[in-house]
Amino acid sequence: MSLINKKTYLLNEKKYIFIGALLLVCILFIANYQSIFKSILPPNPVVVSSKSDASSSTIFDFSIKLTGQVRNNGGDGYIVIKAIVRQDGKRYEKTQQKYLKSYDTDDFEFVFDEVKLFKKAGNYDIQTFPLGSLNN
């Protein structure tokens, strides 16, 4: 074999190895697309439902309990759930941190002992965002 034929043979061989490696990477990406999607994208939490009641109250201690569900519409990761209760010009705030997988739904519960029974009726707000975001 001449020197020119050996170089052409080696170039063709490298080309086929490169095409094979590229094809293998594409197949692995397509086969693992869902897990790649979950790990690269940040969480996108959404409050599905929420309600408040006084079921956590006792005879001498009045409190408001906020319960609900949150769903993660993004990738896997930590989310923050923030509950805010306003009553008679005062604001009370509590947070929880949870790890949610992609498209999982989880329950949350907050108990606010700071509210008073005979004060003006209050209102509440539930906010949720990915941990480390600037939305807080």
Q: Would you say 77 and 49 are in contact if contact means Cβ atoms under 8 Å apart?
A: no
Supply the angle between the helices 33-40 and 3-31 in degrees, to the nearest 10: 70
Q: CA distances (Å), 70 to each of 29, 38, 65, 98, in order?
A: 30, 17, 16, 10
Give yes or no for residue 128 having a pLDDT over 60: yes
Amino acid making up residue 29? F
- Measured between alpha carbons, how far is 78 from 2 in angstroms, rounded to an integer? 63
Amino acid making up residue 9? Y
Predicted confidence at residue 71, as pLDDT, reads: 96
How much is the average pLDDT of 47-65? 81
Predicted confidence (pLDDT) per residue in 94-116, tens digit: 999 999 998 999 999 998 888 77
Return the residue matching tokens 């990915």. 130
How much is the average pLDDT of 105-132? 84
Give yes or no for residue 4 having a pLDDT over 80: no
Q: Would you say 134 and 121 are in contact if contact means Cβ atoms under 8 Å apart?
A: no
Predicted confidence at residue 94, as pLDDT, reads: 94
How much is the average pLDDT of 69-96? 91
Query: Architecture of 42-130 per CATH?
Result: Sandwich (2.60)
